[in-house]
Amino acid sequence: MQIDRSSKMTRMQKSITAYFWLRLLALGFIIHGCKAESSRQNTEKTPEKKSIKSGQEWYDTDGKLIQAHGGGMLYHEGVYYWYGENKDTDTKFPRLRTDIIGINCYSSTDFYNWKNEDIVLPAVKDDPGSALYPQNVLERPKVIFNDKTGKFIMWFHVDDSLYQKAHVGIAVSDSPKGPFIFKESFRPLGFESRDMTVFKDDDSKAYLVFGSGWHNKIVIAELSEDYLSLNGSYTTHLHTDGPPLGREAPALFKRKGKYYLITSGTTGWFTNPAQCDVAENINGPYKTIGNPCEGMYAEVTFLGQSTHVQKIQGKEDAFVFMADRWIPTDLKNSRYLWLPVQFNKNNEPVLKWINEWDMDSYK
């Protein structure tokens, strides 16, 4: 069947424009709320939480606003460690970014209450040639544990202020609480690399998953045994013609032998429909299921963008979808969106908005 590509692009452009204005309107309400809430400084320790409330201000156990944007999570020896970007500084124009402060770590044993373990990978303020110099870009940190070496390995997106470098970075620690020591940054296998994640499989093999090119493909590349480099084996997926059809913000998880890859489209800071793809093998082929979100604001991923999917220990078939509600003009006040992943009769992931939920939501 022949497709009229020009009309298809016109429909897509109209759709993207609609998302743009919906997101802009929603951001106005969110920013207004942020400023109102932020004017009330939290000077006491946060009362113990027993649930998740997405889209609200989240405070650590010392009463300070949590800074863990674009984050990932590691479960190790009974503790969850949440790593993310510290954006506790003024947003810079015109590129709507903040100078690098570093990567924060928070710890929790119950998934509700988070203790600040401080900056575990700081900016390098005195070396303009460093990848971690404040005016560069440091995004989407993900940490995995290597059982053989006993090391904690952090991978993250490294870039210059114009997003021309397109590197990944690596840092290593003897403890999940850091400090992490920066090793190097590079283009993986020669590919441009932007939004990324890492995934550790049941057999302890690990993979770097990243968007490349003009956001026109997702690359899945196997790591070396020590997780400090790539072994040269890779596959490419979700090939598109690039924005606005490209894919970014990958979040990969495994359930009952199947691999699920959730991504977002490429509409800048403005949200769009998430997409889920499934495969029997981590190297594909991946079959597109479609948008896993259901209900109001499903077509804009509940005003969020995927960053990670975390397995909950001690619960059968329990996963949490983690996303960011970016506020581009006030990045430090961007909010977090965590939702339980449900599955339909076809074993496909489903995300439904829930104002408040706890671990009893899982069977």
The percentage of the chain sitting over the pLDDT mark of 90, rounded to a whole number, equals: 82
DSSP state of 92: B
pLDDT, residue 46, reads: 77
pLDDT tier for residue 37 given thresholds of 50, 70 and 90: very low
Which amino acid does the sequence have at 208? L
* 294: CB partners within 8 A, 6+ apart: 350, 351, 352
Q: Which CATH fold would you assign to the domain 5-361?
A: Tachylectin-2; Chain A (2.115.10)
Q: pLDDT averaged over the chain?
A: 90
Residue-wise pLDDT tens digits, 141-176? 999 999 999 999 999 999 999 999 999 999 999 999
Domain spans of the chain, in order of start: 5-361
Higher pLDDT, 104 or 94: 104
Each residue of 288-325: pLDDT tens digit? 999 999 999 999 999 999 999 999 999 989 999 999 99
Structure tokens at 266: 């490429």
pLDDT at position 35 over 50: no
Distance CA 185, CA 171 (A): 9
Residue 45 has a pLDDT of 76
